[in-house]
A and B are shown apart, each in its own frame.
Chain A
Amino acid sequence: MTINGTSGFFGMGRAISDGQGGALFTLSSPPSLYHVSSGGSSKIGLPITPDAPPGDDLFLADSMLLAADGTAYITGSSTLEAPVDTIVAVDSSSGNVKWAASPGLHPKLSTVTSDGSLAFQYALADFSVHSALADSTGNVSPLFTNPDSSDAGPVLTESFGFHLPSYWTLGTWHAYQPDLTLAAITGKAIATALLYSESQGSAKKGHAPQKPDVAHFIPVDQTSLGISSQAALTQIEQLLPQPVADHLPFLGSAATAPKFLNIVARPIRAIGFIGHSVDPPDPSPLDGNFYSVGLRFFGGQALVLPPTDVPPFPVPTYVNSITTTRINTQARVVFIGSCFNGPSFMSLWNIHDQTITEQATKGQAMIVLANPNSAVILGHAVVEWARILDDMILQHMSVDAAVAEANQYLLNQGRDVQGNPITEQWKVVGDGNVKIN
């Protein structure tokens, strides 16, 4: 679509998806919002002159975001002579202006929340850049606050590039520091399950049926796995190519504990770890029975429980480690292909079976070795993981059914490529009815 160059019209803004096969875009003159869909087009007059960033400049934020209720958040100039200084929230159907705010110069839109709030940045005359949140009525407050509600920063200086804060998960935002390094900052926990609600969009959003997103952490090399981690991933891709699944692979040096913590906290459909467990030194205090206290990532980095002398599962101090008492995951399914997944290891997770004091976790499941005292040949874990994904994604099985089928499949193979008998079996912890597709 070309509008620039047509007499009387100029300043076509970057078009965004309406999530239903149509698009919205703004014109600077005459100031208007267009909605184009298969059913036709509509035009709404705007009280500001919308900003029109170059469509292909990825380092500029979008000048419009769209919420699920059809509210369009648009930046622009309050007058023809003014710089970009205003944000308006407009009902994209009726044209009603819900609110307008002029917090400062050059507002850049970040994220719309489910309650109709808007995260954004703006600059002051001293070129300082601040992060802010406008509530559903347009009241503006700092995005990150001190206990006394004052602005906790970070305050940036105007610079080239795309340095907006972005919501990650569980109340954690990624925000740039004054030196433009990225930091995770705890802020308001939000839900962003909207349409074009994050600047430059989000792969996770939209009304189209979403492919399952599946992360794979394989820190081990060929010596441990029998094949390269790339080849292991390719095996999975042979079954589940991109038309049916989005893969997020973390192989070898990319499989680090911080990345794992980051990804496992996201509300993805499934995540698999295939690698070594962290087991207390041999001899074990449990009559030779090993028990896992964590996972081993690339370079030997351990993600483990904090040190303790408390029996029956004491934990020594590990160098090159990250300690945590709880791995909080939003993943629907977590697969663990490592050894000795007993009570100590399971205490790390926020997914559990029913206990005397707690109901079983709903809506999430973990897949761990059925025998907590058993080891696993990692190549077998790859086959099990691939088969479970095949069952859950292509056959639409529940996690309980998929694990049962994959266990039987593994047993039916008899021996692996090296002639080793295949004996490992997995079980489901948490909600066995969970599906990922």
Chain B
Amino acid sequence: MSKSTRIAPHLLLTMALAIFASTPVLSQESTLGNQNTVLTFVHDFLQAFYPEVVGKGLRLTLSVAHPMDVSWKEISGVYFRLTPLAPSLPSLVDPEQRAKAEGPVNPTLLGGFFWLHPRERVRIEQMVASSEIVHEKELNAVRVLVESHPEWPDDRAIRALKEAGARYGPADKEKFIASLHFERAEKFLGRLSIKLVEFEGVSSDHVGNFARFIWIVHAVGEFPDGTRQTYGLSFEPFEGKLTGLSEISDQSGT
């Protein structure tokens, strides 16, 4: 057993949720009265990239895990979970108890995290989104199907993806690009210029988890202060929803 087996992020998260639920949140760069925090940043980002979740009475839970003994003006990560139930239903603050109480009636619609640059004004180092809204279940199902048929040629694998309901296969590149609406991202990622759009289909060797089925976009964001940052973004093929993004090192180019 290695030490790594003793790493239990969910326990850290549980502790953090408890702290978060009972502690006033400090602003990273502003006053309490203004309430512009990493939490509002994440909330606004999710509204911008997943507009269909707005106006449906969903509950967004944001949580932060951060050491007690260091500055909370340098928060480096925020977890999020979007669920159907209104906050007035189960009022348990402990997330494990709450998940147990809610059970399948309150599934995660969208979950994930933001990894943030803590020492600068808020910029995203990395973001990951999963669950229903980004069609994780459907994508994994079609991956399993295709990977059970390594003898299928690539076009047969893509047909399986389309038959599963994917709107944006490799032949739908223009439609996919039109769906991006990067103008919504300007507040968070700068004014984005697309440098690369690539559909990751199946790996050339049909071994292992060779069915990928994601769109990768590389885009350079230009911020109001003139600084630039390149991002790699991934999108699922069913509705073209963002599943994650990473900063790409400045010297990288595509």
Contact = CB atoms under 8 A, between A and B. Distances in A.
A378 B4 contact: yes
A143 to B, nearest CB: 24
Interface string B59-85: 000001111001000111101000000
A223 B130 contact: no
A203 B9 contact: no
B210 A238 contact: no
27 contacts: A223-B9, A227-B128, A228-B130, A234-B243, A235-B126, A235-B246, A237-B232, A238-B233, A242-B201, A242-B203, A248-B205, A277-B4, A292-B2, A340-B2, A375-B2, A378-B4, A386-B246, A390-B248, A390-B249, A391-B249, A414-B118, A415-B74, A416-B115, A417-B65, A417-B76, A418-B13, A419-B16
B252 A394 contact: yes
Contacts of B119: 414
A82 interface: no
A299 to B, nearest CB: 14
Contact of B212 (A237, A390, A418): A237
B209 A376 contact: no
A254 interface: yes
Contact of B209 (A249, A339, A418): A249
B225 interface: no
Contact of A249 (B13, B210, B243, B253): B210
A241 B216 contact: yes
Interface in B74-120: 74-77, 79, 113-115, 118-119
B204 interface: yes
A254 B5 contact: no
Interface in B124-161: 125-126, 128, 130, 140, 147, 151, 153
A20 B126 CA distance: 41
A276 B251 contact: no
A91 interface: no
Given A249-B209, A418-B12, A419-B77, 15 more contacts: A231-B128, A231-B130, A234-B244, A237-B200, A239-B246, A239-B248, A241-B198, A248-B208, A292-B2, A415-B77, A415-B118, A417-B77, A418-B65, A419-B70, A419-B76
Contacts of A249: 203, 208-210, 212
A231 B114 CA distance: 13
Most B-side CB within 10 Å, residue of A228, A387, A395, A417:
A417
Contact of A418 (B77, B114, B200): B77
Interface residues of A, number: 63
A248 B76 contact: no
Contacts, number: 179
A243 B198 contact: yes
Interface of B: 1-5, 7-10, 12-13, 16, 64-67, 70, 74-77, 79, 113-115, 118-119, 125-126, 128, 130, 140, 147, 151, 153, 196, 198, 200-201, 203-205, 207-210, 212, 214, 216, 218, 232-234, 243-246, 248-249, 251-254
Interface of A: 58, 203, 213, 215, 222-224, 226-228, 230-231, 233-235, 237-239, 241-244, 246-251, 254, 259, 263, 276-279, 281-282, 290, 292, 296, 338-340, 375-379, 386-387, 390-391, 394-395, 409, 413-420
Given A290-B3, A387-B249, A238 B76 contact: no
A281 B198 CA distance: 47
Contacts of B7: 224, 226, 377-378
A234 B214 contact: yes
A231 B244 contact: yes
Contact of A338 (B4, B76, B216, B243): B4
Contacts of A238: 216, 232-234, 244-246, 248
Contact of A419 (B67, B201, B214): B67
Contacts of A276: 1-2, 4-5
Contact of A237 (B207, B214, B254): B214
B200 A242 contact: yes
B8 A223 contact: yes
A277 B205 contact: no
A376 B203 CA distance: 29
Contacts of A290: 2-3
A279 B153 CA distance: 42
Contacts of B140: 230
A242 B4 contact: no
A409 B251 CA distance: 13
A338 B7 CA distance: 12
A226 B112 CA distance: 10
B65 A235 contact: no
A222 B79 CA distance: 14
Nearest to B204: A203
A290 B8 CA distance: 19
A418 B9 contact: yes
B218 to A, nearest CB: 8
Top 10 closest pairs, chain A to chain B, by CB = A375-B3, A417-B77, A238-B232, A339-B2, A419-B66, A250-B208, A241-B216, A203-B204, A277-B2, A417-B115
A254 B143 CA distance: 13
Contacts of A230: 140, 209
A344 B8 CA distance: 27
Nearest to B125: A413
A238 B198 CA distance: 10
B210 A416 contact: no
Nearest to A394: B252
A242 B1 contact: no
Contacts of B147: 254
Contacts of A415: 66, 74, 76-77, 118
B252 A395 contact: yes
